[in-house]
A and B are shown apart, each in its own frame.
Chain A
Amino acid sequence: MTQAFDAAAQQTLLESRARMALDLARRLGADACEVGASVDQGVGVSVREGEVETVELSRDQGIAVTVYVGQRKGSASSSDAGEASVRAVVEKALAIARHTGEDPASGLADARLMATELPDLDVHHPWPLSIDEATDLALRCESAGRGIAGIKSSDGASLSSGEGVRVYANSHGFLGSQCGSRHSLSCMLIAEDENGMQRDYDFTSARAPRDLAAAEAVGESAARRTLQRLGGRRPATGRMPVLFDPSLASGLVGHLMSAIAGGALYRQASFLCDRLNAPLFPDWFSLGERPMEVGAMASSPFDGDGVQTRDNVFVRDGRLASYMLSAYSARRLGLETTGNAGGARNLRITAPLESREALLARMGRGVLVTELMGQGVNGVTGDYSRGAAGFWVEGGKIQHPVEEFTIAGNLETMFKGLIGIGDDIDTRGSIHTGSWLVDEMMVAGG
């Protein structure tokens, strides 16, 4: 990278600022305090039609302080982690805590739960990349895509590379910090036929540069995806099976996790309230998290409360085995924290996997969905209705692209109706899954 970033020095500095905030909060009258601080630095280069379009250098920092006075709480944050700013933030948090109401559930997580095992999870792989090298990679990516016959123009290729440090500390004496990196390369292309223009994209993303897909492969894949969309029609309206591409199946896992998150449960804003141990999925399906997985996208030994993370199983043999709880939401529900303040980390599915061809053959006639649009997911009722694009499948084979249709159902029914998972696992994000075949949904098209 072109800006020097001394991660170790930043880590030391942020740790000292966090300790300073804790000391100050105690001296100014807080009974307990917690501090989160971070610094991130990165470079982003985008090219379009063979020319550099933007070069962005980013450097963000932040500090957030929560103080507790008795059972009252106040929070304040700033984009400046300088000493003067730390003082202002602590004072403001205390001022707020004078006005908020008593909350019997408020406070830090129990001291005995603080993480003590803090291994290096190998998630920091800085990329000493010059602007010229970054530009070259983006250009090679775009050029490979534009070179495929039928591509009309490019909406650009972008390379971004960043690293950062985050620190969490609280007045139990816990202090955890982690350096991390993330790099990605993406490309979006446009094709046109007599029916109009279509665009699609592809990307690669990883903690370590060596784990990124080749620039040319990303561009070529973006071109294939774009060309496949030409000639899209609306599918027939009716009930039929739906196969979700892996990148969209991970979204279904996300909806499940939102519905079993403590915050949604204690607010009664979930269709999965009071469903612990209920069968939600077929009995061959299990889902868990691997927060200590070395080198993975969401690895961390401690959660947002400083609690030791652990390998939780959320769905075991189809049954809802655990909610996803922070210290606060656990207290609200009369349960124990699951070490999930800040969410789940590295979700992995255990199930028999099938090839894409086998899933299509089992589906027979239906739609393979490769894109979803809009926010039509109701977490309170589980009702699901979203815009979609993809491919029409008949006789177990892909026939032609389809677009401008919706798929609708209810998440609970969809989870129960899961009849197969693909071996085409998408490992780019923190949720790893293959395609999901759902037995029946309502498709509304022409």
Chain B
Amino acid sequence: MNWNWFYRMGSPRWFYETTSRWLPWLGALTFILLVGGLVWGLAFAPQDAKQGNSFRIIYLHVPASFLALAGYFLMAAAGAIGLIWKMKLSYMVMKCAAPLGAVLTFLALFTGAVWGKPTWGSYWVWDARVTSMLILLFLYLGVLALQYAFNSKDVGNKASAILALVGTVNIPIIYKSVDWWFTLHQPATITFTQAPSMHPAMFQPLLVMILGFYCFYAVALILSVRVEILARERKTSWVRERVKQAAQNSLGATL
């Protein structure tokens, strides 16, 4: 099998130039999906029989939770690739995925709290999934804190990659034990309206939003990796040339 594509992917310059071609399309797709999904979900999807309009925050809450968890695995996978194949680029991806994932986890918790107030009567309940998300936020914060604690960027990258991998081993255990803990302590006052089958008219916009969030995550990650590449490779000739060109272009535009 030809592995050239894999090694080429490790080159920051290749990544920068390829994503320059992809970004307009991906950005347009993200915009269409997010705006379309939001309008569909917020304005046109039917009201929930029990929760009324307050359920509509699901269109932000569920996609954010999906991406928060998926983002952790992506971060850990990027860290593992960096540790195994010693690719600069994958460390950059890991480094950029950490704050992005932490923000998404926070967003999931925040929208959950906003949703919880009208539904459960309080902003915070010790529900199994809520607790797991909180621990996920702590795991992200640990990786972030470790990343920036070292003087040497290289050691910081490797150390936080290892921590991310240890977290990956732990996430299923954490999830299962929180689940078990919750069944042990389940408070009787709260009933979970976990609808097993959502009405298609509600589900379709959610699907669009989930796809939109995936695309948004990709765009955000690519953008921040590109900044990281420019900052790290600022002394190479191809970056200098690019900056000079961009400066000339903007100068031409202002004149």
**A interacts with B:** no
Chain A residues at the B interface, C-beta cutoff of 8 Å: none
